[in-house]
């Protein structure tokens, strides 16, 4: 094992912040005063570290084959330096792409999507409430002012979306993947829309139903426990938003997703698609075991596409891209705010999770979420993944529609209205 130990020792040299490693049997390698420390129970996990397989190392930590000491910010600083290269997917072989498409088709039936969404979002409402903002907005915030708190930035994001969509009183508005109701209720209370939200999470559905009742919005706001493919009707909605949902759709179903949106949207109407996009141009997940970790412990069935692929699918469905905004560093800051919030309340988080499972299971979930939140913050900071808001319309074919001749939609082809 000495060659492996020497390789580890050379990897540790020069790391900032300093990392020390405790080998199986108790021997320590690395600086005397480390900021981050890893204690290994077996040699196979140590080989994972030597190979720069950060995602697999995270799995070993979750399963307690490795013990981790150090702040999440320091841990991710070290992790980024241990990677042998970029983790952005680069396998473009036709066989690999065909296998990915086949897997995507199998993973995203309505039944499996419901199971996968509930696996993540129904962990525990009280757990999420510990580290999200008071509205429980579980998507990228918008730090219009760099001094904003997380709660302020989430409200700024909700309003930014409503402004982009030009929401007006009486508009029929659909929120696909409405979460705990942040955007749905903001649009109804501040813009007077007739709002419909859908989710596959039973916990979220029940939570929003209670909010609708308590706010006296019954009749004007409704929340449905429904798959987007099950929505019926043609040209039903003036405006549609999808926030943090299309990551669950799957590459193989992207055409059907945008096609359904087009069918539900009134001609000339607007749609906002806000979601995570891949850093790599070709379809695939993050390497170094990072994508596998997310799929196993956090988002089973999650798939990311590069913005260029998303725009291609959107255009193929007959929708016209009107505006695209990249909010990547906003999501890095959002995730660090969530991570810091969870780190401040770890004992309470453990107790909350124990109400829905055993203490060992609760501890395992907590370890996974600590690594997930901080790891995703690192990925957004380093441009390995991104976040785009895409504003699009379904042109109505009438040259006189809109403010400019040929606009064929409500979109004014001018960004000024978004920021007034």
Give me the helices (H) in 17-87, please. 43-50, 54-62, 72-82
Reply yes or no: is the peptide bond before residue 61 cis, omega within 30 of 0.
Answer: no
C-alpha span between 83 and 376 (Å, rounded): 15
Give me the helices (H) in 67-201, please. 72-82, 94-107, 110-121, 125-131, 150-164, 182-191
In the predicted model, is pLDDT for residue 98 greater than 70? no
pLDDT at 97: 60
Q: Residue 73 contacts by C-beta under 8 Å, 6 or more apart in sequence?
A: 336, 339, 374
Task: Tell me whether residue 114 is exposed, middle or buried, using C-beta atoms within 10 angstroms of its C-beta: 0 to 12, 13 to 18, 19 or more.
Answer: middle
The C-alpha R_g of the chain, in whole angstroms, comes to: 23
Name the band, by pLDDT with cuts 50, 70 and 90, for residue 173: very high
Find out whether 286 and 365 touch, Cβ atoms under 8 Å. Answer: no
Find out whether 289 and 56 touch, Cβ atoms under 8 Å. Answer: yes
pLDDT at 42: 87
- Which residues are the active-site residues? 376
Domains 2-82 and 98-419 share a fold: no
Q: Residue 173 contacts by C-beta under 8 Å, 6 or more apart in sequence?
A: 165, 167, 187, 188, 193, 194, 195, 196, 237, 238, 239, 240, 241
pLDDT in tens, 46-59: 888 888 888 999 99
* CA-based max dimension of the chain: 78
C-alpha span between 362 and 349 (Å, rounded): 9
C-alpha span between 68 and 32 (Å, rounded): 16
CATH number of 98-419: 3.40.50.150
pLDDT at 93: 59
Q: Residue 200 contacts by C-beta under 8 Å, 6 or more apart in sequence?
A: 113, 114, 117, 118, 121, 225, 226, 227
Q: Which residue has the higher pLDDT, 1 or 116?
A: 116
Q: Where are the domains of the chain?
A: 2-82, 98-419
Output the six-digit token pair for 69.
């000491």
Q: What is the DSSP letter of 229?
A: G
Query: Over pLDDT 90: what percentage of the chain?
Result: 72
pLDDT in tens, 207-248: 999 999 999 999 999 999 999 999 999 989 999 999 999 999
C-alpha span between 145 and 389 (Å, rounded): 18
pTM, two decimals, is 0.93
pLDDT in tens, 307-354: 999 999 999 999 999 999 999 999 999 999 999 999 999 999 999 999
**What fold characterizes domain 2-82?**
Nonspecific Lipid-transfer Protein; Chain A (3.30.1050)
């Amino acid at each position: 094992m000495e060659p492996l130990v020497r390789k580890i020792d050379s990897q540790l040299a020069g790391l900032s912040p300093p990392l020390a490693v405790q080998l199986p049997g108790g021997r320590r390698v690395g600086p005397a005063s480390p900021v981050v420390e890893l204690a290994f129970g077996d040699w196979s996990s140590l080989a994972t570290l030597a190979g720069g397989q950060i995602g697999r190392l995270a799995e070993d930590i979750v399963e307690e084959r490795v013990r981790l000491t150090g702040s999440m910010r320091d841990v991710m600083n070290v992790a980024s330096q241990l990677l042998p290269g970029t983790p952005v997917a680069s396998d473009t072989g036709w066989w690999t792409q065909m296998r990915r498409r086949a897997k995507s088709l199998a993973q995203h039936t309505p039944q499996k999507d419901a199971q996968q969404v509930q696996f993540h979002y129904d962990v525990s409402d009280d757990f999420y409430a510990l580290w999200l903002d008071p509205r429980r907005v579980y998507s990228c915030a918008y730090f219009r002012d760099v001094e904003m708190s997380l709660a302020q930035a989430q409200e700024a994001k909700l309003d930014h979306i409503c402004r982009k969509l030009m929401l007006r009183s009486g508009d029929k508005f659909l929120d696909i993947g409405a979460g705990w109701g942040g955007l749905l209720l903001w649009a109804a209370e501040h813009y007077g829309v007739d709002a419909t939200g859908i989710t596959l999470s039973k916990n979220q559905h029940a939570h929003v139903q209670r909010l609708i009742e308590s706010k006296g919005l019954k009749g004007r706001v409704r929340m449905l426990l429904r798959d987007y493919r099950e929505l019926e009707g043609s040209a039903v909605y003036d405006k549609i938003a999808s926030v943090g949902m299309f990551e669950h759709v799957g590459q193989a179903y992207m055409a059907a997703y945008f096609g359904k949106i087009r069918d539900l949207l009134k001609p000339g109407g607007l749609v906002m698609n806000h979601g995570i996009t891949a850093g790599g141009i070709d379809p695939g997940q993050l390497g170094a075991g990072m994508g596998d970790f997310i799929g196993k412990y956090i988002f089973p069935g999650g798939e990311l596409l590069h913005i260029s692929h998303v725009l291609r699918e959107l255009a193929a469905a007959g929708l016209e891209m009107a505006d695209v905004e990249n909010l990547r560093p906003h999501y890095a800051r959002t995730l660090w705010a969530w991570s810091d919030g969870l780190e401040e309340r770890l004992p309470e988080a453990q107790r909350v999770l124990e109400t829905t499972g055993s203490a060992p299971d609760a501890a395992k979930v907590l370890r996974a979420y600590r690594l997930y939140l901080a790891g995703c913050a690192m990925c957004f900071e380093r441009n390995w993944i991104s976040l785009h808001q895409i504003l699009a319309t379904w042109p109505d074919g009438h040259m006189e529609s809109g403010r400019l001749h040929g606009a064929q939609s409500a979109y004014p082809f001018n960004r000024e209205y978004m920021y007034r």
